[in-house]
Amino acid sequence: MLIKRDQNSIKSYFEDISNLKGGHADSVVIPENIDELSEFVKKANRDKLPITVSGGGTSTTGSRIPFGGSVLSLEKFNRIIDISKERMCAVAEAGVLVEDFKSACSKRGLFYASHPTEKSAFLGGTISTNASGARSFKYGPTRKQVKRLKMVLATGQILDIRRGDIILTKKDPIIPIPTYKMPEVKNSAGYFAGEGTDYIDLFIGQEGTLSIIAQAELSLAMMPYKIFSSFLFFKDVKDAWSFAQDARRSSALSIEYFDANALRLLKTKSNNVPPDAQGAIFFEQELTESGEESIINGWLKTIAKHNASLDDAWAAMTSEECEKFNQFRYSIPESINDIVRRTGYRRLSTDIAVPEDRLPEMMNFYVDTLKASGIEHVIFGHIGECHLHVNLLPKNETEHKRSKDICLAFIRKGVSLGGTVSAEHGIGKTRREYLEEMYGRQGIIEMARIKKALDPNWIKNIRGNLGISFYICYYKRRVWY
Ligand SMILES: Cc1cc2nc3c(=O)[nH]c(=O)nc-3n(C[C@H](O)[C@H](O)[C@H](O)COP(=O)(O)OP(=O)(O)OC[C@H]3O[C@@H](n4cnc5c(N)ncnc54)[C@H](O)[C@@H]3O)c2cc1C
């Protein structure tokens, strides 16, 4: 087991994409195998040493940034153990890059659907945040792919569970499952809840607060015969919205949206973005050999119905072209991250999803509020799942403060419409005050009870994620004494 203490060589572990400042830790601990991991955690538990679990460090919410204690990095857990075409699943360790996992599967003709855009995320990080990305429109979030998890609990105990092994009820004597109602939209905010919760689901989306995921068995699909993808440009943004509404009834793999400001960023990467476009949709569609023509004809009808210009449209039929389009789409969050780094302000973005029938109201609220604010912004994201990322790019302290108020107004609106405060990035440290908006004070207390049951000495991601520890200090008396 490697232990690094030199502050210069470990400072990169104190950052992620959130730009949250002030992270610090005494050491970074890098175990080589599950026994070393378990021994280290046992000792940390005995000594009450706080640990923060680190994956690839691509979180947008400061969730892997430590505030004291040790960082526990899973970077040596980087083996793909088995890929099985018969069972349509694979077993891999938590430190494997999602990108490497996908390409190993595709060499066997298999398809791993989780697609969280960022190429340096680890499998463990994506499970821990229940990440999604564009393709969850068809395949669902990471949760849906997880069949088995091998983990180390806060006591150092190794737990190996398969989906279906343990179903929790409200009367469970050890794990007090939360009673709050989860929104009926794509969601990665807070612990999974409700009567009949599968125990494994508690550890997906837990943001490193309940266990350290060491290994996972993940389900796979057959590699599609072909993926067709297209960028469509619209002169009237409302045509892009109505196109998305129709496209949701299709069998698309992904449906993504870009507003005029996102297109401005794209124009710096390509001269072929039409100058008068006010909005764009990028979609991907799996094709079958026999159905290719009829599927594409179906899309042509939808395109004509919503006034997208076929002359301006871009289409990709080969996997290389498709990858280029994905890279192009990926350049938007990358450009935003560059701007955030340049301005030095903390990243202010939303991750709200709302029920489909409430999306027009939410979109109008975004557009009207942002227009009135005069603050630079970009809206893009997973419109197929009614889930957009609004990014505010303040240039000075006054705008920064105002942007925070605007984000809170968006959160409150989203929650009032039955949505979630975080559909895929999790809560981490930068969104923790939003969680109470969604589940109420009682909901946070219920989460704290689970944390207490599984991590009695509060060693894991103690100062931060999900705001639980934050509330613990505040509610300690009420919860346990
Ligand atoms: C340009 C860009 C685009 C992005 N697009 C998307 C997107 O489309 N969809 C999406 O969902 N996300 C997206 N993200 C966010 C990010 O990639 C995901 O949140 C990802 O799941 C984080 O994985 P990671 O390995 O980097 O985790 P980290 O950032 O290292 O950690 C994230 C959290 O997981 C915990 N953790 C990490 N490993 C483990 C483990 N083995 N056991 C227990 N807990 C662990 C950490 O403690 C932390 O709380 C994007 C990020 C960037 C930079």
Tokens of residue 182, six digits: 């989860």
Phi and psi torsions of 250, nearest 5°: -90, -175
pLDDT by residue (tens digit) across 131-144? 998 999 999 999 99
The one-letter code for the residue type at 381 is G
Q: What is the pLDDT of residue 347?
A: 72
* Lowest-confidence pick of 49-53, 166-170, 343-347, 397-401: 343-347
Percent of the chain surpassing pLDDT 70? 95
pLDDT by residue (tens digit) across 320-348? 898 889 888 889 998 998 888 888 887 79
Give the closest residue (by CA) to ligand 1 atom 27.
125
Mean pLDDT for all residues in the chain: 92
The one-letter code for the residue type at 16 is D
Q: What is the pLDDT of residue 473?
A: 42
Percent of the chain surpassing pLDDT 90? 75
- The pLDDT confidence band at residue 472, using thresholds 50, 70 and 90, is very low
Per the DSSP assignment, residues forming a β-bridge with 379 are 390
Q: How far, in Å, from the CA of 14 to the mean position of ligand 1?
A: 14
Q: What is the pLDDT of residue 58?
A: 95
Q: What is the pLDDT of residue 481?
A: 23
Of the two residues 472 and 314, the one the predictor is more confident about is 314
- Looking at the predicted structure, is the pLDDT value of residue 475 above 90? no
Give the closest residue (by CA) to ligand 1 atom 23.
125
Q: What is the pLDDT of residue 189?
A: 94
Cβ contacts of residue 308 below 8 Å, gap of 6+?
A: 232, 233, 234, 239, 240, 243, 281
What is the number of other CB atoms lying within 10 angstroms of the CB of residue 15?
Answer: 15
Out of 64, 206, 329, 336, mutate this one to test ligand 1's pocket (max ligand atoms within 8 Å of CB): namely 64
Q: How far, in Å, from the CA of 102 to the mean position of ligand 1?
A: 16
* Lowest-confidence pick of 46-55, 329-338, 458-467: 458-467
Phi and psi torsions of 213, nearest 5°: -80, 125
In the structure, which protein residues have their CB atom closer than 6 angstroms to any atom of ligand 1? 16-17, 52-60, 63-64, 74, 94, 116-118, 121-122, 124-126, 128-129, 131-133, 207-208, 212-213, 333-334, 337, 424-425, 461, 465
Count helices and strands in the chain by DSSP H and E runs: 15, 20
Strands (E), 271-349: 279-287, 314-316, 348-349
Among residues 74, 80, 34, 89, the alpha carbon closest in space to that of 217 is found at 89
Domains of the chain: 2-73 (3.30.43.10), 80-222 (3.30.465.10), 223-329 (3.30.70.2190)
Given the CA of residue 124, which atom of ligand 1 is nearest to it?
Answer: 41
Q: What is the pLDDT of residue 477?
A: 41
- Looking at the predicted structure, is the pLDDT value of residue 170 above 90? no
Among residues 470, 481, 463, 476, the alpha carbon closest in space to that of 14 is found at 463
**Three-state secondary-structure class, residue 389:** strand
Polymer length of the chain: 481
Q: What is the pLDDT of residue 479?
A: 38
- Looking at the predicted structure, is the pLDDT value of residue 9 above 50? yes
